[in-house]
Structure 1
């Protein structure tokens, strides 16, 4: 078990070893993803300790790298998956398929085929459905095993409208239809749980609305008979502070509010943190290649791009930034952008950064969740390498792609 005595609730970019980061950039090149697996285990252990009577899974979609999956398994987590590839990668990392939970969202035929085949030898696998169509498609495949129903609570929360899944019709069974769907599942399958996910990136000040969605889930559990359920899964969405002036999630308050909101249950409470576990355990190192004085700003060009980290372009997300080559230089406001030919390829506008110079290494923080997962090969850019830190050592866990990797599937 990870010792939490020296593990702060959030790791700021300034807390990383700057000399070590610069050495990693020199050794492995840039752009470079760095994941601290010790921090991953600390974060999971801290979260699980705040919910001692609950089952805390890891939402794999935040980061499905094998090294990360192995780390959360070592910390004691089971894994929640949203696609067949995440199921397979979890098994490859050492997960018992009987412990996996597959949350199917408009699943392609291949995904259902894979899950049903997997369940033949792993009857403990749980499939979470968000549409009655999925029940029909499972029955057509001869599946009659473990089912959880995903509820749409009608309340979405989180840092951006694109992650407020609790109010999006794409996700889950409409709230008032859940009892009839539960009856149907009990007739044809094994109903083991209810599931909901209100949104992503929730910090302490957003807990009240988040818990309103959880309260509806608890009420529905009692309505359909929670004594006959194994679990009630209220999802994840628990955030980390991306901005330096934001406070970390108050886990004690979160635990109390979630417990109060869900109410008395005979079923086990489940939670699925993803971002909380990996976000501040990862960063990107990128080299400065261009300094351009423009009329209204100084443009700093780096070799990372929206193909490396798309969150600023997709969500307008803030990621902290630090000049690890010269952190003590006088800061000045700069606009930091990458080499992709679009105005969306900008990481920061007028951001105070210790005055960058060519060949300096900049660190982009809180890149451990939905960073490499959303990386692409846009502009025929090979995806970066990834280095893992663990027990004082570093190792390459994902090599840098070559152009041959980019074109390998072409015919």
Structure 2
């Protein structure tokens, strides 16, 4: 038995997982992001700092008291730990571009694509307030999705600053904006009626004009032109106009859609926010999301450092790829099984080591089974090749190579065997 929300990953599942993670890491590196790692757990007050995750996420933190009486928490994402790292290392060259792939933990209700232990693949830029930073991270994530075989997806874009301006026109005080955003962010889950009801319960003003504005979704030019007539501070709308204009140069405009109800649930977001969904797989929710969090680093240090980042939800990607049969046919692992017959064990071990030194994935029988059982074993693991060393082969200084797919057998010397397997 294992706890709810966690899983074991047998070798065949790890092949798929590593396939996805390697593809993502490869793309992130091609964009100039450097990999780093932060601790799995932090001091609890780091994770629960005001304006970090927020009240709802604080309830989901796995926390424990260490033997010294200090409270710790497992990281619920990579953003808070990296913000702490950047604050502690103020002399990092800017922009500081990094990516991180690994496990995070949240005490959520397990469901399709949602677990209590799960993997994320984050990419972030620190030190720039310009929209090209936002677009660089977004472009990297889009490229990663395309590399995995996804082409039909939509990227919803909004700005927390713009949403704050819209809310202010409806009478929402700025100090209560974060709570207002959390309610608006539930629009897809509980619908317009449910959101209106919750806003009323929290004593927020609810006007038809407000909902008319925030329910707009689609091409940005017309929507932003209209919104600018409704708000006092035009800068958030103008920033989005610059964003969509520059997106054309990044070659990603076809995927983007302005969605004024998008808020993202975490309190640390301050500007442009993103959310990506795969068309035809909406039941899994968003597969990636993020945004700008310019005020978070200042919570852990003396300086305020602008920052923006996105995260790919690896579990949902894996489930969708499984459902859509997007994985390639993986070759069996290992590539070769060496089978000694008779008094040839020593030579078989030497050959195994030689093949391994040539970077050929090789296994040797460790249970001294007969040939029939070993052939069944190779078929079960889908090992492509079996190398048989019998006493006759030993005398001729050759081995028998069997292709397990075709059944074809060849008698080869060691040099030719290596060439054949490479």
The TM-score, its normalising length taken from structure 1, stands at 0.23
Q: Which is bigger in relative contact order (C-alpha 8 A, separation at least 6)?
A: 1
Radius of gyration: which is bigger? 2
Task: Identify the structure with the greater helix proportion.
Answer: 2
